[in-house]
Each structure stands twice: as C-alpha cells, then as structure tokens.
Amino acid sequence: MRERKKLKTATTIEEKALRLFSERGYDATTVDDIAAAADVAPRTFFRYFPTKEDVVLGHYAERMALLGRALAGRPDDEPAITAVRHAYAEVARDFESKREGVLQRALLIATKPSLRARNLELQIRWERVIAEAVAPRLGVGIDDPRVVLLSACAVTAMRVSLETWVAEGGTSSLPERLDRSLDLIERGLGR
C-alpha cells in the first residue's frame, strides 16, 4: 500500500507539472508552483524528483531498466543487432502506450536547450546498457569499437525514430519506424 501511495504521489506531481509547463511555460513554472498544484510540500517534490528537469526526464530510468531487462532476456546465441532490435521494440511499445505524455515531454525537450542537453546526456547511459549486453555476444570488451558503434547507432536510431514519430503526432507505429531505422543501419546507409 505504501508503494502505491508513493507511485500515486509521483504521478500526481508529474501530471501537475506537465500541465503547468503546458499552461505557463517551463521556465515560468517553479517547483513551488508544482508542489502547490500537487498539494504537497516542496520538500516532498524533491523526495520524488531531484530537479525540475527530472519531472520531464524521469521516465528514462524506468525505460533504461526495461531495455536492460529486455536485452538480458534475449537468447545468448542471438546476433547482437537482433537482440538490440527486439529489446528496443519493447521500449518503443512502452513509448507508444504512453503517447500523450511522450508527445508532451518531447515538445518540452525540443524547445528547452537545458532539457535537450540533459536528454542527450541520458542517452549516453542507454549506450552503456546496450554495450554491456552486446559485448559478451561479440566476445569482446565494452570498449571495442564494434560495441561502441553498435550501441551509439542503436540509440541514435531510437532517437531519430522517436523524433519523427513525435513530429507526426504519434500517429504511425513507433516499433515499425524503429525497425526500419535499424534495417538501414544493419544493411548499411550507403546502399
């Protein structure tokens, strides 16, 4: 019951923050404004979100964990790119299932340089998750150029697919769009 209450509080803070960002703008909305709208103390806000940016980008941790679990669940003998493709498809489906929130967050990220920079910083952590899963499949270390390049390309494929999906208003299939992006990488962009 305690965990449900914590989840409800975090969700309320997040929803109120996104609404205020939409109404007033990101910069014009303070943590105090968000806390008041969510009917919590500012101190409570900071227990759930270390910064205002984390309200927008906090979903990264759960999606990174989803990606890690999905990669770990792939067969050991599966080619690295295939494992990444299937694992990232799960992440893409998760994005689709939360379409409105993703679209709202994407707009904020696209319009605020500080959020965009933090977003890119977090994507580097995704590369690490992929590298740690891919390196053993290739029998090399995580610093091997093939591992580093595959990880970076996979994250870029997701970012480009997601940005295009968002630009279309989330009306196409994100997993299919991602699959096409990974196909381009796998076959070679120059072909």
What is the rounded average pLDDT of the residues 176-186?
92
pLDDT exceeds cutoff 90 at 4: no
Distance CA 118, CA 151 (A): 19
Distance CA 37, CA 31 (A): 10
30 plus 75 within the same structural domain: no
Distance CA 100, CA 15 (A): 11
> pLDDT tier at 41 (50, 70, 90 boundaries)?
very high
32 plus 111 within the same structural domain: no
Question: How high is the pLDDT of residue 188?
Answer: 79
Q: What is the mean pLDDT of the chain?
A: 91
Question: How high is the pLDDT of residue 132?
Answer: 95
pTM above 0.75, yes or no: yes
137 plus 65 within the same structural domain: yes
CA gyration radius for the chain?
A: 18
> pLDDT tier at 187 (50, 70, 90 boundaries)?
confident
Domain count within the chain: 2
> pLDDT tier at 2 (50, 70, 90 boundaries)?
confident
Checking 157-162 for CB contacts under 8 A at 24+ apart, the result is 157/88, 157/181, 157/182, 157/184, 157/185, 158/88, 158/91, 158/92, 158/126, 159/123, 161/92, 162/92, 162/95, 162/102, 162/106
41 plus 109 within the same structural domain: no
Distance CA 169, CA 180 (A): 18
19 plus 63 within the same structural domain: no
Supply the CATH number for residue 28's domain: 1.10.10.60
Question: How high is the pLDDT of residue 150?
Answer: 93
102 plus 163 within the same structural domain: yes
Supply the CATH number for residue 160's domain: 1.10.357.10
Distance CA 46, CA 17 (A): 13
pLDDT exceeds cutoff 60 at 191: no
What range defines the domain where residue 171 resides? Answer: 58-187
**Both ends of the chain: CA-CA distance in Å?**
55
Question: How high is the pLDDT of residue 83?
Answer: 93
21 plus 115 within the same structural domain: no
> pLDDT tier at 189 (50, 70, 90 boundaries)?
low
pLDDT in tens, 15-38: 999 999 989 999 999 999 999 999
Distance CA 37, CA 34 (A): 5
102 plus 161 within the same structural domain: yes
pLDDT in tens, 56-101: 997 888 888 999 999 999 998 999 999 999 999 999 999 899 888 8
90 plus 128 within the same structural domain: yes
Name the packing angle between helices 99-111 and 2-24 (round to 10°). Answer: 50
67 plus 146 within the same structural domain: yes
Domain finish residue from 29, 50, 71: 50
41 plus 118 within the same structural domain: no
108 plus 133 within the same structural domain: yes
